[in-house]
Amino acid sequence: MDAVLLVDLAFIIEKLLLVVIVVSASLVVAMYSTYAERKVAAFMQDRVGPNRAGPFGILQPLADGLKLFMKEEIIPNVSNRTLFILGPCLAMLTAMMTSAIIPWGSKIEAFGTTIELQIADVNIGILYIFGVVSMGVYGMMIGGWASNNKFSLLAAIRGASQIISYELAMGLSLIALLMLTGTLSLKTIVEQQMAPGHLWNVAYQPLGFLLFLVCSFAECNRTPFDLPEAESELNFGYHQEYSSMKLGFYLFAEYINMFISSAVMATLFFGGYDIPFLDESTLPVNLAAGLGVVAFLLKIVCFIFFFMWVRWTIPRFRYDQLMHLGWKIMIPLALLNMLLTGGVILWLAK
Amino acid sequence: MEALTNRVKVLERKPMTAIERGYLWEIFRGMLITFRHMFKKKPTVRYPEQKRTFSPVFRGLHVLNRDEEGRERCTACGLCALACPAEAITMEAAERLPGEEHLYREEKYAAKYEINMLRCIFCGLCEEACPKDAVYLTETFAPANFQRDTFIYNKKDLLIPDPVTDPEGFKKARGTRYGSPEVK
């Protein structure tokens, strides 16, 4: 075997290993997000939450998963069978795909090589995220359409128009950030924020961050933007006809989306794996990487908690309020933010 | 229309202030409230491990009482069945035979005594009607079950343990309610 092939093989194994770790980590995080959601909800409502399965109920997600697997699989005979199965698969696939370009840490040195803790450092990272996230709506739409049920269809239409409306504001709020960073690569954005004397991007783009945060709530279909699955109006919306693990996939995809958008927000605005008030270059490489990963995960956990906190505080928007907020408030604000940022950059350059 | 009572309260609908319409500050205030609730004491009673303390007049499952020598007090007079508004009690009387004096206190006893716990409303009228202090309500409550017929309690389920052979069980089954000043 010649050397080039060997290097290629090592590269493939390294990346495969990373993929497996990242995918299983996001699955575990999503699993325990369901547990955390129930606990947070309970505590905010003066209850104790699940506490029967294992100590403090920590085995609850396993029990829930087992339950979903054991449930009878029902495919309505008036549904479009292929699309019906494709729906949850797409939702899950797009939710998992986004994790590929997130930098989870700096780099570790092991076995005589340096391993970047990022599956792929694509130079158009943010565009990739946008592309994949907007594909996520197909899972919802196809599922809702294939169910052949008017509630599901209504929910799918709602979801599609909601995501289109908020994606605009999200993109616009990011353009201001990109003018600042001058790059689309997530790794470079993190490294810029880590540089000494440079604050996290949220300090330069507070309005941009706020807009991005609100839009990611809308993109994840979380309360107050959970119109596609509004229990009280649409009987759970687009996944009404789903049962067993197909339903589980839809529910799971929501939590993975939440995890990923928390990771994206932490990366773009809160310094990614940067540890505040600490110069990582003074530490040994592997230690710095480990601490960085921990810091990044902590930031993600904070964001996930924030998602849940908001969910259990405020009620759902009415549909016209949602559209009003999206088109008449978010987009003008995002445009204003873009204009201001551009103006300030020009003024500083002079 | 003229108001019929003087209790009419005219609702004032003020237009929202700029801060209220801005929404974000109001969300923040709401989130502070939910956050504060996370640290409040939970009123939950974790049932199988913890049990609520009952009031002294709590009326639970019935028990058929015995006297100090372990003899059944019930004479099958039927007053409890008569008093029962839910008609949950049925019984059959039998005569005490010679040699059974250590089992039954009076010459007549209940050969069959059944209470349908699904019909029972736990009003305690049977206890009040009983002249022999034989039936009374304890602090235990009816457990859940899958079959209806398991809720028809017969004599075996209802009889209190013998105070002579099993004084511990007798005391436990009788509980603190029996003879307490709030009840009698």
Residue-wise pLDDT tens digits, A89-147: 888 888 888 888 888 877 777 777 777 777 777 788 888 888 888 888 888 888 888 88
Average of per-residue pLDDT across B152-175: 84
> How far is Cα A304 from Cα A217, in angstroms, rounded to an integer?
11
What is the pLDDT of chain A when averaged over all its residues?
Answer: 85
Residue-level pLDDT at A79: 78
Question: Amino acid identity, residue B144?
Answer: A
Q: Percent of chain A scored above 90 by pLDDT?
A: 8
Give the Cβ contact number of residue A185 at 10 Å: 18
Does A310 sit within 8 Å of B42, measured CB to CB? no
- Taking alpha carbons only, the member of B177, B170, B144, B175 closest to residue B71 is B170
Residue-level pLDDT at A337: 92
Q: Does A312 touch chain B (CB under 8 A)?
A: yes
Q: What is the ipTM of this complex?
A: 0.76
Q: Does B43 touch chain A (CB under 8 A)?
A: yes
Give the Cβ contact number of residue B32 at 10 Å: 11
Give the mutation candidate from A37, A39, A40, A46 for the B interface (greatest B CB count, under 10 A): A46
A46: nearest CB among B30, B35, B37: B37
Residue-level pLDDT at A6: 81
> How far is Cα B128 from Cα B80, in angstroms, rounded to an integer?
8
Does B37 sit within 8 Å of A43, measured CB to CB? yes
The domain limits of chain B are 62-174
- Residue A296 structure tokens: 């990044």
Q: Does A302 touch chain B (CB under 8 A)?
A: no
Give the Cβ contact number of residue A95 at 10 Å: 27
pLDDT at residue B24 above 90? no
Question: Amino acid identity, residue A92?
Answer: M
- CA–CA min distance A349, chain B (Å): 34
Residue-level pLDDT at B1: 67
B42: nearest CB among A47, A310, A314: A47
pLDDT at residue A241 above 90? no
Collapsing DSSP to helix, strand or coil, B108 comes out as strand
pLDDT at residue A336 above 90? yes
Give the Cβ contact number of residue B63 at 10 Å: 23
pLDDT at residue B184 above 60? no
The upper half-sphere exposure of residue A12, i.e. CA atoms within 13 Å in the direction of its Cβ, equals 6
Q: How confident is the model at residue A279 (pLDDT cuts 50, 70, 90)?
A: confident
- Residue B93 structure tokens: 């009387």
- CA–CA min distance B53, chain A (Å): 20
- CA–CA min distance B30, chain A (Å): 6
Asked whether A152 and A144 are in contact (CB, 8 A), the reply is yes
Q: Which of A263-272, B15-24, B36-45, B121-130 has the lowest mean pLDDT?
A: B15-24
> How far is Cα A189 from Cα A124, in angstroms, rounded to an integer?
12
> What are A25-62's pLDDT values in tens digits?
888 888 888 899 999 999 999 888 888 888 888 898 88
pLDDT at residue A277 above 80? no
Q: How confident is the model at residue A335 (pLDDT cuts 50, 70, 90)?
A: very high
Does B40 sit within 8 Å of A44, measured CB to CB? no
**CA triple B169-B74-B171, angle to 5 deg:** 15
Q: Does B36 touch chain A (CB under 8 A)?
A: no
Q: How confident is the model at residue A302 (pLDDT cuts 50, 70, 90)?
A: very high
Q: Does A48 touch chain B (CB under 8 A)?
A: yes
Q: Which of A46-50, A323-327, B139-143 has the lowest mean pLDDT?
A: B139-143
Instruction: Tell me the fold of B62-174.
Output: Alpha-Beta Plaits (3.30.70)
Tracing tokens 């505040």 back to the chain, one arrives at A276
> How far is Cα A110 from Cα A100, in angstroms, rounded to an integer?
21
B35: nearest CB among A47, A48, A309: A309
Cα B91 to Cα A115, A175, A323: the distances in Å are 83, 85, 71
Q: How confident is the model at residue B179 (pLDDT cuts 50, 70, 90)?
A: low
> How far is Cα A217 from Cα A213, in angstroms, rounded to an integer?
6
Average of per-residue pLDDT across A267-296: 81
- Taking alpha carbons only, the member of A228, A254, A268, A236 closest to residue A95 is A254
Does B40 sit within 8 Å of A310, measured CB to CB? no
Q: What are phi and psi of A245, to 5 degrees?
A: -75, -15
> How far is Cα A265 from Cα B70, in angstroms, rounded to an integer?
76
- Residue A164 structure tokens: 């289109």
Q: Does B40 touch chain A (CB under 8 A)?
A: yes
Reported pTM: 0.79
Q: How confident is the model at residue A13 (pLDDT cuts 50, 70, 90)?
A: confident
Nearest chain B residue to A224 by CA distance is B27
Average of per-residue pLDDT across B42-48: 85
Could you write out the three-class secondary structure of A269-311?
A: HCCCCCCCCCCHHHCCHHHHHHHHHHHHHHHHHHHHHHHHHHH
> What are A196-232's pLDDT values in tens digits?
778 888 888 888 899 999 988 888 888 788 877 777 7
Question: Amino acid identity, residue B80?
Answer: C
Which residues of chain B are within 8 Å of residue A47 when distances are taken between CB atoms?
42, 44
**Bridge partners, B91 (sequence order):** B113
Does B38 sit within 8 Å of A313, measured CB to CB? no
Q: How confident is the model at residue B180 (pLDDT cuts 50, 70, 90)?
A: low
Between A307 and A81, whose confidence is greater? A307
> How far is Cα A78 from Cα A153, in angstroms, rounded to an integer?
14
Which residues of chain B are within 8 Å of residue A312 when distances are taken between CB atoms?
34
> How far is Cα B121 from Cα B116, in angstroms, rounded to an integer?
10
Asked whether A179 and A342 are in contact (CB, 8 A), the reply is yes
Does A47 sit within 8 Å of B44, measured CB to CB? yes
> How far is Cα A63 from Cα B108, in angstroms, rounded to an integer?
57
B44: nearest CB among A40, A48, A310: A48
Q: Does B181 touch chain A (CB under 8 A)?
A: no
Does B34 sit within 8 Å of A44, measured CB to CB? yes
> How far is Cα A334 from Cα A172, in angstroms, rounded to an integer?
6
pLDDT at residue B183 above 60? no
- CA–CA min distance A132, chain B (Å): 30
